[in-house]
Structure formats: C-alpha cells, structure tokens
Amino acid sequence: MSRNASAPNAAPLRRIIVIGAGAVGAATALNLRRKGFETTIIDAQAPGHGCSFGNAGAISPGSVAPIALPGMFQQVPKWLIDPLGPLFVRWRYLPRAAPWLMKWVAASRMAAVDRASEGLKPLVGTSFDEYENLLGASAFQTLFRRQGQLYVWESDKPSRSEAVGHQLRARHGVEFHWLRPEEIRQYEPGLAPIFARGLFLPNNGQTIQPLSLVEAIVEQYLTEGGTLERGSVADIQPHDDGTVTVQLEDGRSIDAAGAVLAAGAWSARIAKRLGVRIPLETERGYHVMLPHDAALVRRPIMHADRGFIVSPMSDGMRVAGTVEIAGVDAPPDYKRAQSLLHHARNMFPDLRGDESSVWMGCRPSLPDSIPVIGRCPTAPSVVFAFGHGHLGITGAAMTGRLVSEIINDEPTAIDIAPYRPERFTGG
C-alpha cells in the first residue's frame, strides 16, 4: 500500500490515513473502519506509547471546568517558587511559551470559561457509553471501573477558581457530594487524616490501564480489517482533486482520499506545514508507579491543592500529574516524578513506595482546554483531532465518533462548533 511519491496518484476513494495511534487516533480509526473506510494508522511508535501511555486513567464525564479559571493566576507565583509545586516553567523555554501562556490567561475570563465549559460537557459527558459501544460489554467491563472519583483538599478555604469549578458542575447537572474529613476516610481508609474537605463525584471513574485500553481498541480495529504502519509523518500534501499524499520521514509516501491529524502534542508541526497555526503547547506531566501499593486506594483521588491524581491501576498505584512547560523536545526532569512520590507518602501513611518506575508524557494542550476537531481550514480532506489536554482519555471515544461522522459527511452526534480550528485562525 505504500509507494514512492513519484508514482501517479491513485488514491482509492475511501482510503483514510490516521496519523497517531494514541487514544484519539485509535478511537478514530476504529470508528472510520466501521463506516467502511479503508483505514491505515501510522505512528512512529507502538500504539499507546505517547501521552496515552502513562496518564492517570481517570474517566471524567463530570469534568466541565477548563484548566484556566478566574482567580487561578493569583496562585501562579506561589506555585512557581515551590520546587515540588503543581506548575513549573523552564525559564529558558519561557520566551517560546509566552504567547501560549498569554492566551491561557485570556481563557480564564468568565465569558471564555463559559464557552469552554459548553464545549467540554458534550465531549466528555457520555464517555463511558462511547467506550462501551466501541469495545463491547465484555472488554469494557475488563478495562473500566465506574466507582466514582474523590477530590480532596488540605486547605480548608475554597479558592476563587475552585468556586467557579463548583458553579460549572452545578450548572451542568453534574452530581457531587461534599464530604467531611471523617467521611473522606470512610470512602478511602488508606488516606492520612490531613484533608479538610472532600468532594465525591459518583458518575466518574477510570480505566484500570490506559495502555491496555489503546491496545484493545487497536486490536479490535485490526480484527475488523484496519491496517497499522510504523513510520514518522513529515508532511501532508493536499492535491487539487481533494486527495492527499502523506509523506514519511523515511521517504515513503501514501496517497489517500483524506487524513486525520491525531498526533497529540506533535500535531501543530504538521498543521503548520498545511499553513495553519494552532496554538498547541505541551503541559508535560509525570507519573510514578508503585507496584505494591494499589490496595491502598479504591478509586482515583485528585489531590486538588497539588494537582495530581492517585489511581489504582492493574499493575499498581499510579501517582500522576503536575504541569511542566518546557516544550516537547526537552529531556524529562524526573525530580518532578520524585516529588509526586514525596506527596504520596504524606497522603498514605502505609505506603511502601518501593520498586517505583517513572514516566513523563506530553499533554497536547490548547489554551482554552478544548481540542480542535474539524476540517483543516486550508485542506478540507484533512481533519484535525488533537489538543485534548488533561482530558484526552476521557474525550477520545467521542472524538473518534465525531471525526468519522465528519469524514462520512453525516450529521454529528453533538454540535462540533466549539471545536472548530477556525476559532484560532479566524474565519
């Protein structure tokens, strides 16, 4: 199926190339295959080895608040000087990140927050059902748990941004219950008695292993006749007849009727070659895996003051989170993963914390916390599907469905106007 770029273009009418085999690309490819498209996924790595590998696995239909919220920026100076804090900017990278950070600040205005929240709700609200449709009941039951999520705070006074988050949840009818300190430990007996406030979200939950989730989707896709190729995409060339040629770094090229750009934090580089500038930055995050400590935690627990999640995974306790602004190319700084271990020790008095392994991943983040899902403004045969930030595992299944509906020229399950790439490019 791959051939030299110099050969005549003979793209079959229904061949679609999906660039990226993370959660978003995998879900997209399976949906396309089910609509009868001849689909090929191309990824430089094995499926699920980008950001989809090491995240906290939280599935959060109730996450209707964007990251940038009013009042958040008063807290930023305090975070930046704390070496173990939830946000870190590598100073040498600051000049490159500054335009994105300014857009992030602008996105914290209430009007922008309301818009983002309207976009998030339908994208994440049915995520469990979307995954069950994609994988079938048996695989769904193996990979997912719907046991709720717990948010905990050591601080006893809510911040302004936190209050806005609660308002948004209430407005969108997200069910939640406040917990007193003694109730927190009824839900999670392994926790130290250090938390002043707790919030239980009964309709949230988790996947017990994000890598297995992506692998299961890809396996199903291959079973249903999709194909997968290893390679790094350098460019997409659109042609006048509406077809595209996907160019690989190794010189191969593939002709197709269309392409989906689902390359996570690396997508903006390819979009730029198509003449479209999307303000995609990476909020790098870390995890530490503790293989002997899974029994200490029953469900994902968000330490809301410090911005990380502790999840029981199939292979141990995973402590994952924090934001580091340093670009996609900088080497990891695993001191940040060690800081997660330090915080986990404070949270769980009985933590063994040994034989740990660490990981860094690049969240693909847009300033307004909602992805771009829609046709490329300069090349309509290319569909963008990236920028899911902190909610890519939660939002991948609905995204895949939407992209397949866009490509199949049919009405979409939800209104896709909030995700239009043109919100950044004008028009």
The residues that touch ligand FAD, with contacts defined as CB under 6 A, are 19-25, 42-45, 49-52, 55-58, 232-233, 262-266, 285, 287, 309, 320-321, 361, 363-364, 386, 388-394
Write down the least CB distance from residue 144 to ligand FAD, Å.
12
Q: Find all residues with CB under 8 Å of 18, minimum gap 6, and list them.
A: 25, 28, 29, 32, 39, 40, 41, 42, 259, 260, 262
Write down the least CB distance from residue 334 to ligand FAD, Å.
13
| C-beta of 262 vs 403, nearer to ligand FAD | 262
The two three-digit tokens of residue 209, written as one number: 């292993």
| C-beta of 49 vs 352, nearer to ligand FAD | 49
| C-beta of 161 vs 311, nearer to ligand FAD | 311
Write down the least CB distance from residue 351 to ligand FAD, Å.
19
Write down the least CB distance from residue 97 to ligand FAD, Å.
17
| C-beta of 83 vs 95, nearer to ligand FAD | 83
For residues 151-188, b (16+ Cβ closer than 10 Å) or e, as one string? bbbeeeeebebbebbeebbeebebebeebeeeebbebb
3-class SS of residue 62: coil
139-to-48, 53, 133, 305, 313 alpha-carbon distances in Å: 17, 18, 10, 35, 16
Residue whose tokens read 């069910």: 175
| C-beta of 168 vs 254, nearer to ligand FAD | 254
| C-beta of 110 vs 293, nearer to ligand FAD | 293
3-class SS of residue 107: coil
| C-beta of 196 vs 319, nearer to ligand FAD | 319
The strand pair at 149-153 and 357-365 is best described as unpaired
Helix 392-407 to helix 110-124 angle (10° resolution) is: 80
The two three-digit tokens of residue 134, written as one number: 């994609």
In this structure, the number of other CB atoms found within 10 A of the CB of residue 314 comes to 14
> How big is the chain by its Cα radius of gyration, in Å?
21
Q: Which residue number places its CB atom closest to ligand FAD?
A: 392
| C-beta of 51 vs 344, nearer to ligand FAD | 51
Tell me, rounded to whole angstroms, the distance of Cα 175 from its chain centroid: 23
Length of the chain measured in residues: 427
| C-beta of 207 vs 412, nearer to ligand FAD | 207
Write down the least CB distance from residue 180 to ligand FAD, Å.
26
| C-beta of 193 vs 326, nearer to ligand FAD | 326
The two three-digit tokens of residue 376, written as one number: 């490329």
The strand pair at 15-19 and 87-89 is best described as unpaired
Write down the least CB distance from residue 361 to ligand FAD, Å.
4
User: What's the burial of 91, exposed, middle or buried (CB within 10 Å: 0-12/13-18/19+)?
Assistant: exposed
Write down the least CB distance from residue 156 to ligand FAD, Å.
26
The two three-digit tokens of residue 392, written as one number: 């890519």
Write down the least CB distance from residue 323 to ligand FAD, Å.
9
| C-beta of 39 vs 394, nearer to ligand FAD | 394
> Can you say whether residue 237 is alpha, beta or left, with left for phi > 0 and alpha for psi between -120 and 50 degrees?
beta
Question: Strand locations in 208-280, DSSP E?
Answer: 227-230, 233-238, 244-248, 252-256, 258-261
**How many whole angstroms separate alpha carbon 300 and alpha carbon 415?**
30
Write down the least CB distance from residue 45 to ligand FAD, Å.
4
Helix 392-407 to helix 23-34 angle (10° resolution) is: 30
Write down the least CB distance from residue 267 to ligand FAD, Å.
7
Write down the least CB distance from residue 187 to ligand FAD, Å.
18
